[in-house]
Amino acid sequence: MLRLGVNIDHVATVRNARGSPWPDPLRAALLAEEAGADGITAHLREDRRHISDDDIARLAEALRVPLNFEMAATAEMQAIALRHRPHAVCIVPEKREERTTEGGLDIVADESRLADFIAPLREAGSRVSLFIGHDPRQIDAAARIGAAVVELHTGSYCDLDTEGRHAARDAELAGLADGARLAASLGLEVHAGHGLTFDTVGPIAAIPELAELNIGHFLISESIFTGLGPAIREMRRCMELARRGTGS
């Protein structure tokens, strides 16, 4: 089964645009649970531009489905993760000037520091996931340092599809499929996410080694028009059709 993790960061983006208490990301998370989300993902950025510390505390307290806590590899974030002990911690690279998480982690360049960084999180019982591109050197390094999961970055694949660059998109898809196969062969659980839409999710969901997709911005955007529950249910339908080999 392919799980769907719903990322609720951009509910907080809208809330923070007005400094009001609404829309409340926790309410969105509970609605997503009801609509069949298998997990909730939230990224506490260092600049707190969307999700807040209080959101994480409330999510950790109230959710019935697993919380996937996305964070940069900093001491501050590690302390917060150790306080809440979420089901999963997904380590992402973070640059203040970026609009969103633009690339994957460079584990190879930072291997011993990342190995030390994730050890206490593992000991606290969180499944550690590393957000990376499909470069085999990064996948090998993730396995070496003891991550449980790699999440493969689908952002380039989605951008190439939007730009109509189909040959490059197909090459990127092949790289993601090869990466997923390699990661699974090394005993890693394989997730994917970033930029996925109803149009792009099918070929990704069809990669058999994938266990989970994390999808946020498009679902929250779509919920303006259809509501969050219908958007999530339609995404699940696209995923399931692709898994059954009938396209999305």
Question: Which stretches of the chain bind ligand PXP, using CB under 6 A?
Answer: 7, 9, 43, 70, 90, 92, 100-101, 131, 151, 193-196, 214-218
The Cα–Cα gap between 123 and 97 comes to 33
Active site residue 217: no
Catalytic residue among 33, 70, 94, 189: 70
Nearest to 65 by CA among 102, 117, 114, 29: 29
> Least distance from C-beta 55 to ligand PXP, angstroms?
14
Neighbours of 2 (CB within 10 A): 21
Q: How far is CA 23 from CA 12, 206, 221, in A?
A: 7, 34, 13
User: Backbone dihedral region of 17: left (phi > 0), alpha (psi from -120 to 50 degrees) or beta?
Assistant: alpha
Closest CB to ligand PXP among 67 and 90?
Answer: 90
> Least distance from C-beta 227 to ligand PXP, angstroms?
18
Closest CB to ligand PXP among 117 and 218?
Answer: 218
> Least distance from C-beta 109 to ligand PXP, angstroms?
19
Closest CB to ligand PXP among 26 and 152?
Answer: 152
Cα dihedral sign, 192-194-197-203: negative
Closest CB to ligand PXP among 40 and 196?
Answer: 196
Active site residue 194: yes
Active site residue 102: no
- Catalytic residue numbers, as ranges: 43, 70, 194
